[in-house]
């Protein structure tokens, strides 16, 4: 069984064929789906999908860094309420994104640090969104100094040095469709990272792997990522599935 450790199956891009998308994934062996939170507007649909597929869907709770804006305090209060009211497998996706907008950089960093505190309080892993913000993210993580800190660098696209830095902080690396992109450099990096530090994800509907690049991504494309990892690590497809599934189950407690 494969686990898609990061898929936004609840978003509007899947409103017309969500059940078919899930069925396609299950036919190809993707049996578990971990859903990252975005903001308060998506909470209800996440819970609804979990209710529909209670054994397959696993929910995170957190405030996505690109949604850290003027109402950040209200949004963080919502995250806190949810963490107290429901069982989640992780606090995520949280982190920093300085690609689109730097005007809330300070608030992003503060929101990230606060949500890490909550993850430790509730004994949950964190799932990190990092875009053009490795230094700022590591500044927060390395300041935590708590051995319970653990989680996943979602959609990892950093260097080997950054990968090792993340691993040293008890983080797994989420490998997605970018590993299939010809000039991304991620395949070369991922080939040098031991499999016990990797999990697989799609980030559907975003970042579809080759040959679907540029189209809507979906969880049924996870085997394409597994195939690529098997190729670059020179191991069997089944070995990739076995190791990354073990990693994901341990990370999320599922």
Q: Rounded to two decimals, what is the model's pTM?
A: 0.97
Distance CA 27, CA 34 (A): 17
Looking at residue 208, the DSSP 8-state letter turns out to be: P
**Top-tier CATH class for 2-252:** alpha beta
Residue 213: the pLDDT is 97
Give residue limits of the domains in the chain.
2-252
> DSSP character for 179?
G
If DSSP codes are grouped into helix, strand and coil, which group holds residue 189? helix
The residues that bridge with 3 in the sheet, in sequence order, are 32
The whole-number pLDDT of residue 101 equals 85
CB contact burial 4-35 (16+ within 10 A = b; e otherwise):
bbbbbbbbebbeeebeebbeebbeeebebbbb
**Beta carbons of 175 and 182 less than 8 angstroms apart:** no
What parts of the chain have a pLDDT lower than 50? none
Structure token digits, residue 116? 């890490």
| Cα Rg of the chain, angstroms | 17
User: Which pLDDT score, from 0 to 100, does residue 26 have?
Assistant: 98
pLDDT score, position 100:
82
99 neighbors 137 (Cβ within 8 angstroms): no
Q: What is the pLDDT of residue 92?
A: 96
| Sheet containing strand 151-153, strands side by side | 2-4, 30-35, 57-61, 90-97, 126-131, 151-153, 171-175, 198-200
Query: 3-state DSSP call for residue 231?
Result: helix
């Amino acid at each position: 069984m494969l686990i898609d450790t990061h898929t936004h199956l609840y978003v509007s891009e899947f409103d017309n064929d969500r059940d078919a998308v899930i069925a396609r994934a299950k036919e190809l062996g993707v049996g578990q789906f971990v859903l990252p939170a975005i903001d308060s507007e998506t909470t209800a649909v996440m819970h609804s999908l979990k209710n529909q597929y209670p054994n397959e869907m696993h929910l995170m709770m957190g405030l996505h860094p690109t949604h850290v804006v003027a109402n950040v305090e209200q949004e963080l209060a919502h995250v806190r309420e949810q963490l107290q009211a429901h069982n989640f497998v992780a606090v995520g996706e949280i982190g920093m994104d300085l690609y689109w907008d730097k005007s809330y950089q300070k608030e992003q960093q503060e929101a990230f640090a606060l949500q890490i505190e909550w993850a430790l309080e509730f004994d949950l892993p964190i799932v990190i969104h990092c875009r053009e913000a490795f230094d700022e993210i590591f500044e927060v993580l390395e300041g935590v100094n708590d051995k319970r800190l653990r989680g996943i660098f979602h959609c990892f696209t950093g260097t080997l040095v950054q990968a090792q830095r993340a691993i040293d902080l008890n983080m797994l690396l989420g490998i997605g469709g970018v590993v299939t992109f010809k000039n991304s450099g991620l395949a070369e990096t991922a080939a040098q990272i031991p499999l016990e530090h990797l999990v697989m994800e799609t980030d559907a509907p975003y970042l579809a792997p080759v040959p679907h690049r540029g189209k809507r991504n979906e969880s049924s494309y996870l085997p394409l990522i597994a195939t690529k990892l098997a190729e670059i690590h020179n191991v069997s497809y089944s070995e990739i599935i076995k190791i990354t599934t073990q990693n994901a189950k341990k990370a999320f407690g599922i």
